[in-house]
Structure 1
């Protein structure tokens, strides 16, 4: 069956970034089949910007929610998946995808049914020639860290594929797997929840890959309130 993608765009005080992100989402060469927007109690006009983009569904949620909890709110307002062809594309207000980002991520998932989670190459928001982060791993002390962290992009990582984990922003995940695993674990710090989901996916027999050809600009720590 043809893949069906629901993009879930979460914002909390994300107005400075949403114009660029919404334009990037609308410019995708392979557009999401639907967009669910979630605003977390923003007071900076984020909710109005999201609503003006005409999402399929608009969800208002409390500001205290984490990114994973916000995604769960969005998942609750869409039908349960009918198969592995249904996917969720997770985006924060400060995640502006390159025009072919979703197309590239989907290609990786469609090429191998064993791939259940795919993540992009996150690029610096204001410096597109620099990688913001790419892939996630663990230190010997068990701390989650990027495989690649703020480095000039010279195509040196363009052959990277299977990884322990990927970041939440820009993650493409099979909807059925998200439901089976219960999404992100609320008991974990936000910095660890995406990696934890990826590890659980791998333990369940699935692959987690990074797709270097799929680029998403990320403001990261420069975007308080949006870099969950």
Structure 2
């Protein structure tokens, strides 16, 4: 005689998109082909001007819930809205997926089979190369660690086949991260003030500080449709957000005073070296980033745990 089986958990997929209708179509096709059918697919459209609306309005094969934002809120703002909608909808788990990946047909099934509160899929590129950048070591303790990401899944393992079934990671990308409802209830929502960059890393830090371990699930495969490029122009508009949001992570979550001082040190070094690299534009970016980060040391109120 066997005991009662656990009830089937529900899951809402959250997708944020902006002007990538053709990529979004591939993602939606992948979600429709899942062996574990999602209970909801919440799409936040960041004021796209291409044919995204036409794509979404013609999909009848998925349980779509679309939020049409009047402004581009960035990935951070979009995922904030999407996770809040998933929480308000009462689903047991929420799975965050960007619009430039396609899940293998059994990706969601593999995730739902793991009885852990925080999980993430594992990414390969179109050639089958492992490109999972989730940090295995994200150091907010050592003040000499200029870059907190000390190692990543794809720097430790040569390919996905070399990984064990579960690999503990310290941060995630919002390209495959999954959390149970109780995690959101405890730590809150992605911080919309980040706009882009580090909103996912900051959310993972909050989850781990609350006692939740995060596991990369080897067999939950996502295929990136675009080349993975983490190199950005630090003198351009993205550079401001990269500097500012990295500083905010240190100011909020640095484990000692020296780590929380690192943003000032980085600012000083960038300004001093600007005649040799980066120039005035990067120096201006880092100064503005430091000034803005100081005002973001506390979690944005709308990202706080629900009451």
* Other-structure match for 1:141: 146
Counterpart Cα distance in 1 of 2:151 and 2:165:
16
Which 10-residue stretch deviates more, 1-10 or 208-217?
1-10
Measured in 2, the distance between the counterparts of 1:120 and 1:191 equals 19
Partner Cα separation in structure 2 for residue 189 and residue 70 of structure 1 = 9
Distance change (3 Å), C-alpha of 1:189 and 1:11: closer
Which residue is equivalent to 1:164?
A: 170
Which residues of 2 match residues 32-181 of structure 1 at below 5 A? 32-54=38-60, 55-78=63-86, 80=88, 86-108=92-114, 110=115, 115-124=116-125, 126-127=126-127, 129-136=128-135, 137-138=137-138, 140-144=145-149, 147-149=152-154, 153=159, 155-181=161-187
SS for the counterpart of 1:191 is coil
1:30-73 CA-to-partner distances (Å, cap 9, x unmatched) read 01111111111111112221222244311101443122321232
Judge conservation of contact 2:76–2:195 (CA < 8 Å) in 1: no
Offset of residue 221 of structure 1: 4.4
Cα distance in 2 for residues equivalent to 1:147 and 1:36: 29
Report the 3-state secondary structure (helix = DSSP H, G, I; strand = E; otherwise coil) of the residue aligned with 1:102. helix
Any conservation in 1 of the 2:173–2:201 contact (CA below 8 Å)?
yes
Q: Secondary structure at the match of 2:35?
A: coil
Name 2:216's counterpart in structure 1: 210
- SS at structure 2 position matched to 1:205: coil
Q: CA deviation at 1:21?
A: 0.9
Runs ≥4 residues deviating over 6 A: none
Distance 2:189 2:227 in 1: 22
How do residues 181-196 of structure 1 correspond to structure 2 at under 5 angstroms? 181-188=187-194, 190-196=196-202
Relative CO higher for 1 or 2, CA cutoff 8 Å, sep ≥ 6? 1
The number of residues matched between the two structures is 215
CA contact (8 A) 1:81 1:176 kept: no
- Work out the CA distance in 2 between the residues paired with 1:189 and 1:145: 24
Give the TM-score, by structure 1 length: 0.82
Change (3 A) 1:39 1:189: closer
Confirm or deny: 8 A CA contact 1:30 1:100 kept in the other structure. Answer: yes
Structure 2 alignment gaps of length 5 or more: 1-6, 140-144, 230-307
The Cα offsets for residues 125-151 of structure 1, whole Å up to 9 and x where unpaired, read as x32x11122422436224447613488
TM-score by structure 2 length?
0.62
Unaligned runs of 5+ in 1: 223-228
What is the CA-CA distance between 1:179 and the residue it aligns to?
3.8
Instruction: Specify which of 15, 23, 28 is matched with residue 9 of structure 1.
Output: 15
More helix by share: 2
